[in-house]
Amino acid sequence: MVLTHSEQARDLKQVFENFEVGELVDSHGQYDLLGYKELLEELDKKFILYDIAKRGKVFSWDPLLEVEVLNPPRQACEKDSGDLNNNEIALKITYNKVSFLFPGNIKESTEIKLAELYKDKLKSAIIKIPNYGLVESNSEEFIDYVRPEFAVAFNEKCGIEKQISKEIIKRYEDKGCYVFRNDDYNTLKMVKGKIRTTHNGTILVITDGIHYKVESEKHLDEIQKQIKSINPPPPEYNFPEIKANELTKEIKEDKPEVEPLCNEKYFSAAGDAIDHAVDSIYMVMFFVNMGDSDQNPVNILVRKLIEARQRGVRVKIILEMPRDENDFIMWNNEKVYRWLANAGVDIRLSSPQLKTHNKFFVVDQNITVVGSHNWSDTALDGTQNEVTVLIKSKNVARKFLRYFYENSW
């Protein structure tokens, strides 16, 4: 959840009571505002992560999703930071190939600054029109860089002085952009190139990352059906899960093959093993630290786990959960937990009573990868000295699977 400006803090308690929130991103901590102290207490109570948005920061909450903070600038992320509108959070959100721009209530001076900084990077398919469509925002230069196909103009009940400017609507339309507006009593919906009036004031954009469709608010069950059609549940598993009594049986096999994976050699070998999985992947990992870039080696391996699950592979993972809720490892492992759980991966955090320092995974009940490598960029890119072994042996794999169930799962 994004809190675009801190004075909305007092209204969030009801949101937390009705929606599951994993992380709150704020523009700048206005700690002396009414309700802000209570907000922080509520975050602690519900174990919700808290972060401050600063220009240039990128959030990776999903393999196909990039959320980049365009505003506020870093120096504005302070208490008593002046003009609240110009210091609101502005985000560019890209889901696969579809991009959205949420500029908040920034005014023309900040629009021009963003245009100078980002230029063509502002290009977005969909924009929420800044500052209620008022003339002190929505400059020609800003719109020229964004080049939106579709725009949403939101108008709240603020009196005549806050009415959406017809001049601004025409400015977008003259540039070939369809404009939908949300007004006090109805929503205007575009149907086959013509405006139609519908009731309820929410405009819904649904995308699969390649195409998108825009419509006015519907009943929740209808919305859920459409979302499920775009994000179907993961497929059934390819094979039934191995039974506990089978893990105790020895198998006649040739001598195990053992390959040392030193430093950066781990990354390609681990990725290859996951790519070729057809039955199962069982993992216990102390620390998984995803980065901001899609090309970060940890992000690549995590995506491979998701792709394996999408192929019908049974993926079961245990991550360390430290006793200290503010621990760096806890913060990163919880982030990965949410990412993988949302993709249908069977994942758990270990008991905080006993530290889980293991770093191993087992593929297809045959390949065991065990050693010193955590899943961090410094461990995977050769920055640190690490050594792990890859063992091809069904009997060895079964011993690790027994350990997985008896001591971890």
- 287 touches 258 (CB < 8 A): no
Cα torsion 127, 128, 134, 137: sign:
negative
161-175, 198-212, 266-280, 326-340: least confidently modelled range: 198-212
Residue 256: is the preceding peptide bond cis (ω within 30°)? no
Radius of gyration of the chain (CA): 25
Indicate the pLDDT class of residue 150, thresholds 50, 70 and 90. confident
Tell how strand 150-154 and strand 126-128 pair up: parallel
- 110 touches 71 (CB < 8 A): yes
Q: What residue ranges of the chain are covered by domains with CATH 3.60.15?
A: 53-230
Tell me what pLDDT residue 70 has.
Answer: 94
Q: Give the containing element (helix H, strand E) for 94.
A: strand 90-95
Cα torsion 142, 145, 147, 151: sign:
negative
DSSP 8-state assignment for residue 135:
T
Please determine, for residue 319, whether its predicted confidence score (pLDDT) is greater than 70: yes
CA–CA separation, 336 and 338 (whole Å): 5
Residue 79 tokens, joined: 């208490």
How far does the chain reach from its first CA to its final CA, in angstroms?
31
CA–CA separation, 363 and 248 (whole Å): 18
pLDDT in tens, 260-305: 999 999 999 999 999 999 999 999 999 999 887 778 999 999 999 9
Tell me what pLDDT residue 176 has.
Answer: 87
pLDDT in tens, 3-53: 887 667 777 777 887 777 888 888 765 666 667 778 888 888 887 888 888
Tell how strand 65-71 and strand 58-62 pair up: antiparallel
Please determine, for residue 312, whether its predicted confidence score (pLDDT) is greater than 70: yes
Residue 36 tokens, joined: 């802000």
The distance of Cα 125 from the centroid of its chain, to the nearest Å, equals 19
Mean local confidence (pLDDT), 316-335:
81
CATH class of 53-230: alpha beta
Q: Give the containing element (helix H, strand E) for 51.
A: strand 49-52
Please determine, for residue 144, whether its predicted confidence score (pLDDT) is greater than 70: yes
Percent of the chain with pLDDT over 70: 82
**244-408 CATH:** 3.30.870.10
Half-sphere exposure of 244 (CA within 13 A, CB side): 5
Mean local confidence (pLDDT), 51-76:
82
Q: What residue ranges of the chain are covered by domains with CATH 3.30.870.10?
A: 244-408
Contacts of 220 (CB under 8 A, 6+ apart): none
pTM for this entry: 0.54
Contacts of 312 (CB under 8 A, 6+ apart): 235, 236, 237, 238
151-160, 222-231, 357-366: least confidently modelled range: 222-231
Please determine, for residue 187, whether its predicted confidence score (pLDDT) is greater than 50: no
Please determine, for residue 101, whether its predicted confidence score (pLDDT) is greater than 90: yes
3-state secondary structure of 181: strand
Indicate the pLDDT class of residue 69, thresholds 50, 70 and 90. very high
